[in-house]
């Protein structure tokens, strides 16, 4: 299996999406998704972009050598961020994040951006 095939499969499963659901969103056959995941076929650039959009992840994540996860299945980057800010702060942020709507979350992110880059 190719790295991109492994990554497509891991990201698809993480998104709780079947091969058929992904195929419908990308507008390819289910067999094509199976070939990508098995490494029998490599998607072209446009298809990689479509897959990344369907899975709501950056295309670069699909193209990484391997998705880094620890033994518990937690994304390596998330684990690193938790280490950097501390478990207590990470728990507080995550608890609050799950309580707010997507719209409110985007407003908060915009406010943080403005504080960081416009209030200097």
CATH code where residue 33 lies: 1.10.260.40
Tell me the pLDDT of the chain averaged across its residues: 84
User: Pick the residue with more confidence: 119 or 8?
Assistant: 8
Those residues with Cβ within 8 angstroms of residue 105's Cβ, 6 or more apart along the chain or in another chain: 97
State CA 94 to chain mean position distance.
Answer: 17
Nearest to 14, CA basis, from 49, 48, 61, 47: 61
Span 43-58, pLDDT tens digits: 988 999 999 999 998 8
- Grade residue 100 by pLDDT with cuts at 50, 70 and 90: confident
Domain count, the chain: 2
Interatomic CA distance for residues 68 and 55, integer angstroms:
17
Q: Which of 24-28, 80-84, 86-90 has the lowest mean pLDDT?
A: 80-84
Are both 56 and 82 inside the same structural domain?
A: no
DSSP alpha helix (H) spans, the chain: 3-14, 19-26, 30-38, 45-55, 59-63, 76-85, 87-99, 102-118
Asked if the structure places residue 98 within a domain, the reply is yes
Asked if the structure places residue 71 within a domain, the reply is no
Asked if the structure places residue 68 within a domain, the reply is no
Interatomic CA distance for residues 68 and 64, integer angstroms:
9
Are both 86 and 57 inside the same structural domain?
A: no
Are both 52 and 18 inside the same structural domain?
A: yes
Give the structural domain span for 42.
Answer: 4-63
Residue 52: per-residue pLDDT:
92
Are both 59 and 81 inside the same structural domain?
A: no
Residue 115: per-residue pLDDT:
87
Those residues with Cβ within 8 angstroms of residue 92's Cβ, 6 or more apart along the chain or in another chain: none
User: Pick the residue with more confidence: 41 or 65?
Assistant: 41
pLDDT at 65 over 60: yes
């Amino acid at each position: 299996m190719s790295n991109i095939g492994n990554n497509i499969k891991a990201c698809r499963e993480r998104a709780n999406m079947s091969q058929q659901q992904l195929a419908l969103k990308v507008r390819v056959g289910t067999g094509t998704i199976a070939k990508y995941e098995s490494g029998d076929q490599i998607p072209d650039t446009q298809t990689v972009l479509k897959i990344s959009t369907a899975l709501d992840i950056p295309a670069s994540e699909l193209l990484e050598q391997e998705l880094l996860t620890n033994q518990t299945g937690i994304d390596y980057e998330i684990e690193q961020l938790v280490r950097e800010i501390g478990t207590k702060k990470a728990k507080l942020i995550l608890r609050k994040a799950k309580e707010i709507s997507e719209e409110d979350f985007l407003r908060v992110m915009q406010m943080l951006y403005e504080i960081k880059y416009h209030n200097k």
